[in-house]
């Protein structure tokens, strides 16, 4: 009489568990990097949307503040009541937010800024000095990182 064994041996199960562990060890850090980069891109994009309001309010008499910009705080930013716009007497200025809130812990205290020159040119600047775990791969690509 022949016995047919059905099922997996302990060695086969251990090999499968080891493979799953290796895949998890590689994929989880990659996934977290993608989440951080996506959140940075989102913050830069959301802040950049207020540049047109900044320009129109700058040329008018209404002044530039959160209300005149129609600012709606993101859940990725730290202080929803802080004024995001600064205008200098020469016409230059910037829009700025600090990452926090529901942002990835690596991004907490990163400052995202859109700077306006006197001539009206805009540039994106990211100040990562308060984020020790920052990696260059987190830059959305169109910003200068300090």
In a domain, 18, yes or no: yes
pLDDT of residue 18: 94
Q: How confident is the model at residue 4 (pLDDT cuts 50, 70, 90)?
A: low
Answer whether 70's CB lies under 8 Å from 87's CB. no
Q: In total, how many domains does the chain have?
A: 1
| H or E stretch covering 126 | strand 122-127
* Distance separating alpha carbons of residues 32 and 104, to the nearest angstrom: 9
In a domain, 2, yes or no: no
Residue 119, both tokens: 């001539």
| H or E stretch covering 18 | helix 10-48
Residue 133, both tokens: 């775990």
In a domain, 3, yes or no: no
Domain residues for the domain of 23 are 10-145
* DSSP annotation string for 52-109: HHHHHHHHSSS--SHHHHT----TTBS-TTS--EEE-TTS-EEEEEEB-TTS-GGGTT
User: Could you read off the pLDDT of 23-34 as tens digits, one per residue?
Assistant: 999 888 888 888
pLDDT of residue 23: 92
Residues 109-125, mean pLDDT to the nearest whole number: 88
In a domain, 72, yes or no: yes
| CATH number of the domain where residue 107 is located | 3.30.700.10
In a domain, 116, yes or no: yes
In a domain, 60, yes or no: yes
In a domain, 133, yes or no: yes
In a domain, 4, yes or no: no
- Beta-ladder partners of 124: 114, 143
Residue 64, both tokens: 């530039």
Residues 63-79, mean pLDDT to the nearest whole number: 79
Residue 121, both tokens: 């040119």
């Amino acid at each position: 009489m022949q016995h047919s064994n059905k099922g997996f041996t302990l060695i086969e199960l251990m090999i499968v568990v080891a493979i799953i562990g290796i895949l998890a060890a590689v994929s989880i850090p990659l996934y977290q990097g993608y989440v951080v980069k996506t959140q940075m891109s989102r913050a830069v994009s959301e802040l950049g949307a207020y540049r047109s309001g900044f320009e129109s309010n700058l040329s008018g008499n209404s002044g530039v503040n959160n209300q005149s910009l129609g600012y709606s705080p993101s859940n990725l930013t730290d202080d929803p009541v802080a004024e995001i716009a600064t205008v200098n007497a020469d016409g230059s200025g910037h829009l700025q937010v600090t990452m926090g809130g529901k942002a990835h812990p690596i991004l907490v205290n990163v400052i995202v800024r859109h700077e306006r020159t006197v001539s009206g040119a805009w540039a994106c600047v990211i100040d990562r000095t308060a984020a020790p775990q920052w990696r260059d791969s987190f830059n959305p690509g169109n910003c200068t990182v300090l």
